Amino acid sequence: MHLREITETLKKRRKLLGLTQVRFTELSGVSLRTIKALESGKSNPTFETLTRLAEVLNMELNLEFKLPKFF
């Protein structure tokens, strides 16, 4: 997944769970500033930042083999 897909997924799921950005910072420990930058596509986040956010959403980052397109 490209970074844009990942951030979009995080954002959509955050909203699906009815969380505001503020509540998201409280639950994740990632600053509001960082979340805003990330969601508006203005950063190259560290692995830890993405992981802390994913965690709150019951998600995680996995390293996998690329699958051929027809999958």
**Interacting residue ranges for a second copy, rule: CB under 8 A:** 1, 3, 5-6, 9-10, 44-48, 50-51, 54, 58-66
The answer to whether 61 touches 53, Cβ cutoff 8 Å, is: no
Task: Give the integer Cα–Cα distance in Å for 26 and 63.
Answer: 28
Could you say which of a second copy, DNA, none residue 17 binds, taking C-beta under 5 to 8 angstroms by partner kind? none
Positions in 2-31 near DNA (CB under 7 A): 15, 20-22, 29-31
Task: Give the integer Cα–Cα distance in Å for 59 and 2.
Answer: 16
* Footprint on this chain of DNA (rule: CB under 7 A): 15, 20-22, 29-34, 36-40, 42-46, 48-49
